[in-house]
A = this chain, B = another copy of it.
Amino acid sequence: MYMSETFDAISEPLPRRVQAGLSKIAMVMRHEAWAQDGTRGLTPTQAQVLALLQARGAMRLSAIAAELAVKQPTASDAVTALTRKGLVEKQSVPDDGRARSIRLTEAGAAAAAGRTEWPDLLRTVVADLPEAEQAALLKTLTRMIRNLQQQGAIPVQRMCVNCRYFRPNAHAEAHTPHHCAYVDAPFGDRHLRLDCPEHAEADAALASANWQRFTTSPHTQEPGS
């Protein structure tokens, strides 16, 4: 659209370069995960399972697999390893004899809590961004994650934008345009959640209307560059 035929002609397309950048970030995260969890005797996958169970409580194996975007055998491997390490335990579920509910042991809860405390490298890098940029990044990630959900690439997340209590752009205040009907309080992009414990799924019509209203926010139109 705008400008600089030179650069538009000779560069990789913008989405490709953005993807390359995300790749590098992903690489650092993987590396950090090995380095950090490794000292605690965990692999990255195992740490993810612990984090998931910490956030969500007891889960079935198939739910864990879906949430981590791996196949069941892989999730089973990880859970087996964690069981051997005494960090999780399996219980049978009353109404379904095939299923097993997996939950943290006390040691597992402690390990999961310990992990969240440590200010890891990527978190400090994000924290070093100007706050407005962090908020913008969060909003962009929200957009991408919703898109991924709609393509069926990941299960539906417990995000504000999927929530029955979400009222996007309900207020005039620029810093807190949204409203959460659950806690009955205004909030802004910087408060958006990707995994809210109070989440209640909105029906399709509401979700779609909310999304429309959310993404046509005045703040979304900035001068491109």
Binding site for B on A (CB under 8 A): 1-4, 6-8, 10-12, 14-32, 68-70, 120-138, 140-145, 147-148, 151, 153-154, 157, 173-177, 180, 183, 185-195, 219-225
Contact A222 B222 (CB under 8 A): yes
> Measured between C-beta atoms, what is the minimum distance from A210 to chain B in Å?
17
10 closest A-B pairs by beta carbon, nearest first, are A21-B141, A132-B224, A26-B26, A31-B69, A15-B127, A7-B191, A188-B225, A189-B225, A6-B185, A15-B126
> Measured between C-beta atoms, what is the minimum distance from A35 to chain B in Å?
10
Closest to A186 in B: B4
Of A12, A21, A151, chain B has the most CB atoms within 10 Å of the CB of: A21
Contact B68 A225 (CB under 8 A): no
Of A1, A70, A186, A222, chain B has the most CB atoms within 10 Å of the CB of: A222
Secondary structure dominating the interface of A: helix
Chain B residues whose CB sits within 8 angstroms of the CB of A126 once the complex forms: 15, 18-19, 22, 144
Chain B residues whose CB sits within 8 angstroms of the CB of A27 once the complex forms: 68-69, 154
Give A208 to B193 CA distance when docked, in angstroms.
35
Instruction: State which of B21, B121, B140 has its C-beta within 8 Å of the C-beta of A142.
Output: B21
Closest to A132 in B: B224
Closest to A71 in B: B34
Instruction: State which of B1, B6, B177, B187 has its C-beta within 8 Å of the C-beta of A131.
Output: B1
Give A21 to B11 CA distance when docked, in angstroms.
28
Give A193 to B192 CA distance when docked, in angstroms.
30
Q: Could you list 20 A-B pairs, sorted by A, with CB under 8 Å? A: A1-B131, A2-B188, A4-B188, A6-B187, A7-B185, A7-B187, A15-B123, A15-B124, A17-B192, A19-B122, A22-B29, A22-B141, A24-B148, A26-B29, A31-B69, A121-B148, A126-B144, A129-B144, A174-B225, A188-B225
Give A192 to B225 CA distance when docked, in angstroms.
10
Chain B residues whose CB sits within 8 angstroms of the CB of A141 once the complex forms: 18, 21-22, 24-25
